[in-house]
Every structure is written in C-alpha cells, then in structure tokens.
Chain A
Amino acid sequence: MSRRVKRRYLALKIESAESLEEEDIKDAVWNAVIQLFGEYGASQAGLFLVKYDEKKGEAVLRCSLKALSMVHASVASITEIRDKSVALHVLRISGTLRALSQKR
C-alpha cells in the first residue's frame, strides 16, 4: 500500500559575502546531509530546492516530514560554500508553501 509522503517546507536565510548560485546551495545541502547522515539518511530526506532568490539571499527547501530534524541539523551545520564562509539559518518551517509565506 502506498502512502502519501508528508512534506515540510523550510524558509532559509543565506548569509554570504559573495553571491551564490542555485547549484551551490543545492550541493551544499546535499553534501551536508550526506556528511552527517550518510547516503541512507539522504535517501530518506526527499530534498528539493523549491525557490532561490539570489538577491535577497532567501531560499525554500522541501523535505519529507520524517527527515525534517535531519535536514534542519544538516542545514545548520553548513559553514562553507566554495571555500567561503556562509551561514544558513532556518527562519520558518511549514506544511504548505502558502502557510510558509503567511508566517512571515
């Protein structure tokens, strides 16, 4: 029996001295999850970068509810992208994109 996968959306604030591309953020998050929880953990995460605003330094990340704490810890553990210091902060977490934008 297949069950609907419950998801969570995370609004992220990216602090960096240099501008970063979408691919950099994706790679950094994937690498952080793999580094902390391995490929088995990453396979459960259901990661997807929904939105990325380079100018504002904001992004929306989707993951499975089951892996939420794993993804949150991984995002918080990112300190470098392309050998430059960065900090990723989780601002809000929500079950739907609409609720995420309303929580502002």
Chain B
Amino acid sequence: MTRFADLHLCAPFRNEEQLKRMTAKSFEMGYRLVGIPLPPNVESDQVKRVRKICSEVGLDLVSRVDLTPKNTNELLASLRRLRRKFEVVAVHCISKPVARQAAKDRRVDLLSFQVTKPWNRFFDRAEAELASESLASLEIDMAPLLSLDGSLRIRLVSSLRREAAIAESFRVPVVISSGATSDYLLRRPLDYSALAMLFDMDSSLASRALSEVPCGIVERNRLKLSPDFVAPGLRVVRRRDP
C-alpha cells in the first residue's frame, strides 16, 4: 500500500489545539508521515510533545527546519549547526548565490522558492544540474496554488510548469507538499495529484512526489542520524556485548 507523506504541514506547534486538529485531519486525508517545520532553537522536550500528539492520531512526525539564509556564509553556518538536529532540512532560496550553494550541498534536502515573485525563483537548468549531482529535491507547496488567484496564480503555474519540466529532464526529484496553514487548505493526495496536472506533471510522477520521494528522503536521513551510521554505505550491524 502506498504510504503518503506531507513534508510541509505548517501547523503551529505552540498551539496544541490547532496542531491536534490539523494532524488528525492530515491522517484522515490519508497521510501517514508528516513534516512539521520547527524553529531552529526548539527544545527536545517540545519535539517529543509534538511527536506524541502526532503518534496519538497515527502519524509519524518528521522534524523539519526551514532555513532562509541571506547569504551563503549564513547558509553554511546554519547547516553546520542544525543538520544533525533535524531529520529534514529545507532551504528557502531568496537569492541566486544561496540557491546555487543549497543545490550543491549534500546536507540540503529540499529547495523551495518564493511564490509570489517569479523572478525570484532560481530553479533553472544550472540549478537543476547542481541539484542532480547532490541530494536536494525541489519542493512544490500546493497551498499557494489554492489561495492565490488571478495573475499571481497564473504566473505561479507558469513557473511551476517550467520548473517541473526542468526537474524531470535533469532527474531532480520533486516533492509535493501541502504547505497548509489551516485545515481548509489540506487536500487528499489524489487531489494534489489532480492539481499537479495544472503544471503538466503526470499523475504517476505526482504520486511518486507525494509518497516514494519524501519517504525516501526521511528514510535516508534517519539512517544517517542513527548511532549505527558510520559513513555512506557503512553502518554498525552488531555490537559486541561488553
């Protein structure tokens, strides 16, 4: 059975009531793995509390941090500090140098771009080539597609169409996330798959972007963060009893 994942559920983690409502809704929609963005300075107790709320409704929580660095130095410093603290690291690229650095850095999982300014979306062929050689995926949030209208939505769909085509030709994985800030903006995986046809993504690719690709990222990172991980391709299988 397909295991659907939503790596960007923007549930306010401090508001327990809304968090419970949104996670329950997410489970009802068919998701089993959710990524909730947490602040970089989050305490482990708070993560445990959110994890408990998620597990109560039947969801597997993925801790995620969203970085919005102003320059490459800030990005590198944040990655050094936070990579081992979170299961998924997403970089919101607001400038071209940051986008290029994020695309080639193997510690970055997701690349996301500004929604309302198409000239600030830097996912071009050069960016895709860099991303294809590292581990970064392109993240497409669906909430803006639902909430925007008129020329803003037209421009966004046009940008997404171009980016999805570039990603496919350079074999850069695409992750479709809800980006939902309220339960009215949450949709079922099949609804997202249908919406992906707006930017010419075929349904099998969209289905992969909602299940296999995000689950693969989480699995890979959990393996790396486990104490048994030594190096890529090398892990401790058994320890001798003391």
By a beta-carbon cutoff of 8 Å, the part of chain A in contact with chain B is: 15, 35-36, 69-70, 72-73, 75-77, 79, 85-87, 89-90
Q: Which of B147, B149, B188, B197 contacts A35 (CB 8 A)?
A: B149
Enumerate chain A residues within 8 angstroms of B198, measured Cβ to Cβ.
36, 73
Check A76–B195 contact: CB distance below 8 A: yes
Nearest CB on B from A53, distance (A): 19
> Once bound together, how far apart are the Cα atoms of A86 and B182, in whole Å?
11
Check A87–B184 contact: CB distance below 8 A: yes
Which residue of A is nearest B146, CB measured?
A79
Check A89–B184 contact: CB distance below 8 A: no
Is B187 part of the binding interface, using a Cβ–Cβ cutoff of 8 Å? Answer: yes
A-B contacts at CB below 8 angstroms, number: 45
Also in contact, A76 and B192, with CB within 8 A (given A35-B149, A36-B198, A69-B197): yes
Check B146–A77 contact: CB distance below 8 A: yes
Check A87–B190 contact: CB distance below 8 A: no
Check B194–A79 contact: CB distance below 8 A: no
Enumerate chain B residues within 8 angstroms of A70, measured Cβ to Cβ.
197
Check B194–A72 contact: CB distance below 8 A: yes
For this complex, 14 residue pairs linking A to B, each with C-beta atoms less than 8 Å apart, are A36-B198, A69-B194, A70-B197, A72-B190, A73-B198, A76-B194, A77-B146, A79-B146, A79-B147, A85-B182, A85-B184, A89-B191, A90-B190, A90-B191
Check A77–B145 contact: CB distance below 8 A: yes
Which residue of A is nearest B149, CB measured?
A35
Q: Which of A69, A76, A86 contacts B187 (CB 8 A)?
A: A76
Is B126 part of the binding interface, using a Cβ–Cβ cutoff of 8 Å? Answer: no
Q: In residues 137-171 of chain B, which contact A (Cβ within 8 Å)?
A: 145-147, 149
Check B195–A73 contact: CB distance below 8 A: yes
The 10 residue pairs across chains A and B that have the minimum distance between CB atoms: A72-B194, A76-B191, A85-B184, A73-B194, A87-B184, A73-B195, A79-B146, A69-B197, A76-B187, A76-B195
Enumerate chain A residues within 8 angstroms of B11, measured Cβ to Cβ.
none
Is B185 part of the binding interface, using a Cβ–Cβ cutoff of 8 Å? Answer: yes
Enumerate chain A residues within 8 angstroms of B195, measured Cβ to Cβ.
73, 76-77
Is B183 part of the binding interface, using a Cβ–Cβ cutoff of 8 Å? Answer: yes
Nearest CB on B from A22, distance (A): 21
Which residue of B is nearest A15, CB measured?
B184
Is B186 part of the binding interface, using a Cβ–Cβ cutoff of 8 Å? Answer: yes
